């Protein structure tokens, strides 16, 4: 094993893969080579990969801009559908304005396999003494 190997790696002895024993991802001292997974820096991207990334970013940005311009019209159509009695439109508006209903979870168990509750969160409505309306009880 090389003498200049880092102390953190010395504890593993000869089991550390280094360039000397066939590992092309580590330096002789056992540290990661630049650009290799786990080492400093990401692997270099090809020009084709960079171009694909740029194109995808442009497509996403274009979509966001179009959606932003169309949203006022979409909102009016959605509201009109809800007024006309479209249940899906009513549900969508309720979900967006009021929020989706919380899912109920049922816990069950027996003497050999009881449920373990690690934390309970509950809301105290309009509590003037609380800086936050969410209370947490850990380790219950």
List pLDDT tens digits, range 44-68: 788 999 999 999 999 999 999 999 9
What pLDDT does 133 receive?
47
Q: What's the token pair of residue 129?
A: 């003494």
- pTM beyond cutoff 0.85: no
- The domain tally of the chain equals 2
Task: Count Cβ atoms below 10 Å from residue 30 Cβ, excluding itself.
Answer: 21
State whether 67 and 88 are in the same domain.
yes
3-state secondary structure (DSSP) of residue 48: helix
* Residue 122 maps to a domain: no
On whether both 33 and 51 belong to a single domain, the answer is no
pLDDT tens sequence across 89-139: 999 988 888 887 777 777 777 778 877 777 776 666 665 555 554 444 554
* Torsion angles phi and psi, residue 15, rounded to 5: -75, -10
In this structure, the answer to whether residues 32 and 51 fall within a common structural domain is no
Neighbours of 18 (CB within 10 A): 19
| 20 is a domain residue | yes
Nearest to 120 by CA among 97, 140, 104, 96: 140
On whether residue 133 sits in a domain, the answer given is no
Domain that holds residue 7: 1-44
Largest alpha-carbon pair distance within the chain? 81
Does an H or E element contain 54, and which?
Answer: helix 47-83
Q: Do residues 52 and 23 both lie within one domain?
A: no
Task: Tell me whether residue 54 is in a domain.
Answer: yes
In a domain, 91, yes or no: yes
3-state secondary structure of 136: strand
Q: In which residue are the tokens 């024993």 written?
A: 21
């Amino acid at each position: 094993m090389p003498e200049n190997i880092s102390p953190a790696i010395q504890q593993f002895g000869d089991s550390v893969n280094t360039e000397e024993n066939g590992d092309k991802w580590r330096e002789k001292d056992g540290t990661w080579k630049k650009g290799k997974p786990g080492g400093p820096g990401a692997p270099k991207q090809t020009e084709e990969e960079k171009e694909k990334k740029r194109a995808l970013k442009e497509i996403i940005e274009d979509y966001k801009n179009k959606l932003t311009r169309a949203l006022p019209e979409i909102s009016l159509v959605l509201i009109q559908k809800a007024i006309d009695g479209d249940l899906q439109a009513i549900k969508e508006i309720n979900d967006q304005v009021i929020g989706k209903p919380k899912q109920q979870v049922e816990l069950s168990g027996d003497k050999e396999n009881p449920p373990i509750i690690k934390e309970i969160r509950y809301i105290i409505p309009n509590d003037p003494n609380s800086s936050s309306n969410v209370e947490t009880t850990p380790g219950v």
